[in-house]
Copies of this chain bind each other. A is one copy, B any other.
Amino acid sequence: MTDLFWPGDERAGSHFTAEDFVGAMLAVEEEWLGRDLHVRVDAERLAHDAESGGNPVIALVRLLREHEPDVHRGLTSQDVVDSALMRMASSAVETLRRDLRSVVDRLARLADRHRETPMVARTLTQHAVPTTFGFRAAAWLTAVLDAYDDLDRLALPDQVGGAAGTRAAIVELGRSVPEGVPRWHTTRAPMTRLGDALAGCTDACVRIANDVLTMSRPEIGELAEGSGGGSSTMPQKANPTLSVLVRRAALTTPQLATTLHLAAAQQLDDRADGGWHAEWATLRDLVRRTLVAVSQTDDLLAGLVVHADRMAATLDSAGDGVLAEQRSMASAAGRPPASSYLGDAVAHVGEVVARAHRTLEEKH
């Protein structure tokens, strides 16, 4: 079911849908049991039955035990939900990394192609000094590479602790837990780190969208979305729709990541009384919105139209002002101004593009 309140939602595919959640919880239970249960679980019914236990696992286990009484032995609800969330997240992050690599590839080409395309730099909205469009694209690329690195560092572990983290039932049953599987019922760094990294992705995407929105204003006209969105009433309009929707996402995801921190800050006892429960839908929304925003950014770049002529014309019309700093520096240095005032912009583009290539080659 695509979300009518979040246009583009279908780009997130089946990640973190109800069916995905059921499937992930079932996989956790089956793996722990050691065999497949060949059971069909109705997500809608499970959702209705979830409230009385406070989470969906109690109803799920009741249902599974009709087939196999030994299911879930030694686990607690939180083991199953947390492991399922992290497995779903793992798959989503894999998709995100793939999509981000495509964004990186597009940006590297864009930066490289325009490394010498002259443009006016703007600071605090005003014309500043000359730059190149490739230099700007290199900034976008840096933001995306930083976000990619953060995703890359994430650990998304299973959770196996039993009722209160001590694995008492597991030991009582004479079982053991796979090497390296932690227990983190009340220490939520795996969750907050994930949330922070996802917010970092939309921070990077909106870095691009903000510039496209500004530079595609008709008075500036230096960039355009390939195929703008129409208006319901104005036939002539071509709106920068993808940029608008990316921007939308980035206005919401930081607060979702905060909610994960606030949930972490409510941890107490051996399992918490509400902080944990606040995470599930929050993570779902954060993941799906990030997937949508990255995918939209990829399309935005695929269609991006660069008007190098307008860039040159703007720089030209900016006139002497943008060389005022140069004159002041040359005077301080006691030399006539150099013929160009681009600093190391072109070389910097090369370095960022090289970083991009290293990232793309590491592709796991």
Contact = CB atoms under 8 A, between A and B. Distances in A.
A164 B7 contact: no
Contact of A147 (B3, B169, B189, B229): B189
Contacts of A98: none
Interface in A248-266: 248-259, 261-266
Interface stretch (A74-82, A99-107, A301-309, A356-364): A74-82
Interface string A307-328: 0000000100010011011101
A217 B218 contact: no
A53 B231 CA distance: 7
Copy number in the complex reads: 4
Nearest to A267: B207
A8 interface: yes
Contacts of A247: 273-274, 277
B1 A18 contact: yes
A204 B261 CA distance: 10
Contacts of A209: 274
Contacts of A125: 213-214, 216-217, 239-240, 269, 273
Nearest to A256: B255
Nearest to A183: B348
Contact of A126 (B204, B239, B314, B325): B239
A10 interface: yes
A210 B268 contact: yes
A350 interface: no
Contacts of A91: none
A156 interface: no
B192 A203 contact: yes
Interface in A159-178: 162-174
Interface centre among A122, A126, A196, A330 (most CB of B within 10 A): A126
Chain A contact patch, size range: 35 or more
Given A135-B165, A203-B261, A52 B241 contact: yes
Contacts of A6: 280-281
Contact of A329 (B61, B73, B251, B337): B73
A90 interface: no
Contact of A265 (B58, B206, B314, B321): B206
A31 interface: no
A131 B270 contact: yes
Given A166-B344, A168-B325, A53 B10 contact: no
B232 A265 contact: no
Contacts of A258: 254-255, 257-258
B47 A265 contact: no
A273 B214 CA distance: 10
Given A7-B277, A124-B272, A131-B166, 5 more contacts: A6-B280, A139-B165, A173-B333, A244-B277, A285-B285
